Structure 1
């Protein structure tokens, strides 16, 4: 009998804080295909033999058609309105690109999906950022994955400069203030390491539980402990 192909994971957002942590976390499990908009030489060299990359255009769903089919997809795409430059540009990343990846993966046969959303995501929110995140969550639910894990981390405690990402000044100041007193901050609001988010997403998606599971930041802090 022919060998059964090893299940493949798609990972979108491998150049970000959680995405890079996922690249390491998932590499111990099964082959990972990192979806990139452009070549990124900063990806860890030791990962390249075990994980492959593919160039895609998030604005062109057809660019996913030739990719090998995944069994799971992890999506860690995200921006800020300041970084994107406008609300429309922000939505193009945090809603449109997220849904393009998820829809392409679902159509290719993926049965499981894990996505990084945000604390306070709510499609009815009066805050644009939270509303877009909530609308993306609702659209992902509608795709009908057998298992969907939605991670809503609080402020990510990581070094974006080490990944070649532009600084987020508000985030930097918040971390300077919060790190010394992190133990006094309730878990729901405490800054969280991207490695902890990645581990929680991997472990949660592997479980046989509800079709949709939302992991708030407090729970992300403890999954796998």
Structure 2
């Protein structure tokens, strides 16, 4: 049987590639994209569901859910607002998807994610990982990419000056860095989720070093 999936964060760097990948996957019958702004693409498999992430509606029957919601503290405006998007909203979507019958979850986390980290960003990512594990889905795939490579401008995303500098340095030193710390194409992160989520039972953690193979 072909699968029905949902994705949150389909307009982001990884999410946009993941959405396209899901739409072209012949094993997938239907893709529901959850968001606050309409998508700029249309497809016979795609249904956009306008949502308020603070009060999610009942979702249609699902097999899998993909979580790619993310922001920055600068864009969000505060640590609290950042946490609301990266932790609270992703977790809310996961819970709603499980109620709708989803058995598998895929999530975009980050290199160094650790709920006990002294740094805020990896701490929030680690807390989300732990919260998703506690939901005990049939399968959970966590990808932990390093610096993401991709065209944010084409997505209409704001320029991230610090990220631009990091990417430039990463490209320069990538040949000399261990794979775990090399910048990684967003397309590879998206493809890892598309490939691994449907066949995973239990928890599968894919670090940045292994994402390069997808």
Q: Same fold (TM over 0.5)?
A: yes
Aligned to 1:32: 31
State whether structure 2 residue 192 is matched by structure 1 residue 197. no
| Runs of 4+ that moved beyond 6 A | none
Matches within 5 A, 1:19-58: 19-29=15-25, 30=28, 31-41=30-40, 44=41, 47-58=42-53
State whether structure 2 residue 14 is matched by structure 1 residue 18. yes
Measure, in 2, the Cα distance between the counterparts of 1:39 and 1:28. Answer: 20
Q: Deviations over 1:127-176 (max 9, x none)?
A: 11111111111000111100000011000001111100111110111112
- Conserved? CA contact 2:141–2:193, under 8 Å: yes
State whether structure 2 residue 78 is matched by structure 1 residue 82. no
Aligned to 2:206: 215
Measure, in 2, the Cα distance between the counterparts of 1:162 and 1:180. Answer: 23
Measure, in 2, the Cα distance between the counterparts of 1:163 and 1:51. Answer: 19
Measure, in 2, the Cα distance between the counterparts of 1:50 and 1:167. Answer: 31
Matches within 5 A, 1:160-179: 160-179=152-171
What 5-or-longer segments of structure 2 have no aligned partner? none
Picking from 121, 144, 148, the partner of 1:152 is 144
Higher strand residue share: 2
Picking from 119, 133, 143, the partner of 2:125 is 133
Aligned to 2:93: 101
- Conserved? CA contact 2:8–2:69, under 8 Å: yes
Following superposition, the deviation at residue 39 of structure 1 comes to 1.6
Measure, in 2, the Cα distance between the counterparts of 1:185 and 1:157. Answer: 16
Measure, in 2, the Cα distance between the counterparts of 1:127 and 1:219. Answer: 24
What 5-or-longer segments of structure 1 have no aligned partner? none
Secondary structure of 1:82's partner?
A: helix
Measure, in 2, the Cα distance between the counterparts of 1:106 and 1:28. Answer: 24
Measure, in 1, the Cα distance between the counterparts of 2:200 and 2:102. Answer: 16
Following superposition, the deviation at residue 180 of structure 1 comes to 3.3
State whether structure 2 residue 184 is matched by structure 1 residue 185. no
- Conserved? CA contact 2:140–2:200, under 8 Å: no
